[in-house]
Structure 1
Amino acid sequence: MSLSDSFNQSRDWRNGQIGQKVREALQKRGFQASYVMTTQEAREEVLKLTPAGSSVGISGSVTIRELGLVEELKKRGHIVYDHWAPGLTKEENMAVRRNQLTADVFLTGCNAITLDGRLLNTDFTGNRVAAMIFGPRRTIMVAGINKVVPNVEAGLRRIKDVATPLNSHRRQWGKACAVAGHCIECNLPDKSCRVTTIIEMCPDGNQDFYVVLIGEELGY
């Protein structure tokens, strides 16, 4: 076995240990959860969980796009509500976001997942976190192993110092964190992190909630 193979094997072992621990914690909190090693397995899992003919809302998630799910769902004939679709007017964009709230299936990423199974997310508009809590008939959350954090405090710091600056930079927003590369605890009119949620247990109004954790790094 080469040195590189040995490193990869050890990394996969560690990711698996963490992934299974988080999966069990999520299940204890009422979520339906699974752990897969690769993005290909995750993609297959999500497609299997998406019923034929269902309408699908796509959140603003880099992870979902990295899995190539938008294109595949369209090929399968699903109605897809994707507010990242090019050419939308501001009014059309908001209409798509509202349709996501009542879609049959809502696909989303996650900003941070604690070892004991809490889900942390921050939004600018609020449509993504709203749809996680209530509205869609089924929610499927997909997250890379890089989203796992020890506790809520670490999750909030990850959101401020990793997820929000990277998303602001990706969107070429001149936000303070996009310039600094980390949160400066601003309270400016263009502040990105406006709505933060901590889902302690599977929401009573959205109990068909799946979490697919992947043993690879994906998204921000």
Structure 2
Amino acid sequence: MNQKITTLIHKLESHNMAGYFVNTPEELLLLIKELIPNGSSVGSGDSVTLEDTGVFEYLRNGDYNFYDKFASDLTKEQKRDIYLRNFTADTFISSANAITIDGAIFNIDGNGSRVAPILYGPKQVIIIIGINKITDDLDSAIKRTRQIAAPLDAKRLGKNTPCTSLGHCIDCKHKERICNDFVLITGQFVKDRIKVIILNENVGY
């Protein structure tokens, strides 16, 4: 663990958030097993990071009540019900678009279903990021999210926004725009409610 990661974890702790560092997805899953008790209810945000690291598969097959919103046959109302249940989950697990070296977590969301439970509701929030999402400051966090993460995510979601063809954000006003909610978290009242796990790999958008 290099000095940059050590500094980030110390900054998170100073903001009443916990920081962890793991080297591999296997270590990540072992840590998640420690942090989430068997029998817990678990909600999640949409995340390429969690998919690619095997977290979703682990939750589906584990001894958890996983609010799985990814089944292809779910109706809009069924998905909305899951979004609302996420607020009462024992644990909400997600990734983030960026995190600054001084311990601020930055996200852009389309409808708020990912960022809202991070802000309030679940007893525990676990955020998993790759080292590629660590930025020097807020300006670079916003730039990274708008110019890298958002266009890739819009393309993955099949949106027809300009960024999907241009490959970068032009601050469009398109009806399918996913850059609607800009949320910066700089601290917590409840100590260690938010736990950030840093994976020593480039993963996710």
TM range (shorter): over 0.9
Q: Pick the aligned partner of 2:21 from 35, 39, 53.
A: 35
User: Corresponding residue for 1:210?
Assistant: 195
Question: Would the aligned equivalents of 2:25 and 2:54 in 1 still touch at CA under 8 Å?
Answer: no
For the pair 1:184 / 2:170, whether they are aligned, the reply is: yes
Note the aligned Cα RMSD (angstroms). 1.4
Query: Tell me, what secondary structure is at the counterpart of 2:20?
Result: strand
Over 3 Å counting, the alpha-carbon distance change for 1:124 and 1:206 in structure 2 is farther
User: Corresponding residue for 1:69?
Assistant: 55
How far residue 74 of structure 1 moved from its aligned partner, in angstroms, is 2.5
Q: Pick the aligned partner of 1:148 from 130, 134, 140.
A: 134
For the pair 1:175 / 2:161, whether they are aligned, the reply is: yes
Question: Would the aligned equivalents of 2:24 and 2:201 in 1 still touch at CA under 8 Å?
Answer: yes
User: Corresponding residue for 1:57?
Assistant: 43
How far residue 207 of structure 1 moved from its aligned partner, in angstroms, is 4.8
Q: Pick the aligned partner of 2:121 from 132, 135, 152.
A: 135
Deviates more, 1:22-31 or 1:103-112: 22-31
User: Corresponding residue for 2:147?
Assistant: 161
Q: Which amino acid aligns with 1:218?
A: V
Q: Which amino acid aligns with 1:162?
A: I
* 5+ residue gaps, structure 2: none
Percent same amino acid among aligned pairs? 32
C-alpha separation between the residues in 1 aligned to 2:87 and 2:19?
22
For the pair 1:92 / 2:78, whether they are aligned, the reply is: yes
Larger Rg over CA atoms = 1
Over 3 Å counting, the alpha-carbon distance change for 1:188 and 1:131 in structure 2 is same
Q: Deviations over 1:120-151 (max 9, x none)?
A: 00100101111111000111110000000010
C-alpha separation between the residues in 1 aligned to 2:190 and 2:72?
32
C-alpha separation between the residues in 2 aligned to 1:151 and 1:191?
25
Query: Tell me, what secondary structure is at the counterpart of 1:135?
Result: coil
How far residue 18 of structure 1 moved from its aligned partner, in angstroms, is 2.3
C-alpha separation between the residues in 2 aligned to 1:40 and 1:77?
18
How far residue 205 of structure 1 moved from its aligned partner, in angstroms, is 5.8
How far residue 54 of structure 1 moved from its aligned partner, in angstroms, is 0.3
C-alpha separation between the residues in 2 aligned to 1:206 and 1:134?
14
* 5+ residue gaps, structure 1: 1-14
Q: Deviations over 1:151-204 (max 9, x none)?
A: 0000001110011000011112111111110001112222110001000112x2
How far residue 85 of structure 1 moved from its aligned partner, in angstroms, is 2.2
User: Corresponding residue for 1:45?
Assistant: 31
For the pair 1:195 / 2:181, whether they are aligned, the reply is: yes
How far residue 206 of structure 1 moved from its aligned partner, in angstroms, is 7.8
Number of residue pairs matched by the alignment:
205
Over 3 Å counting, the alpha-carbon distance change for 1:128 and 1:139 in structure 2 is same
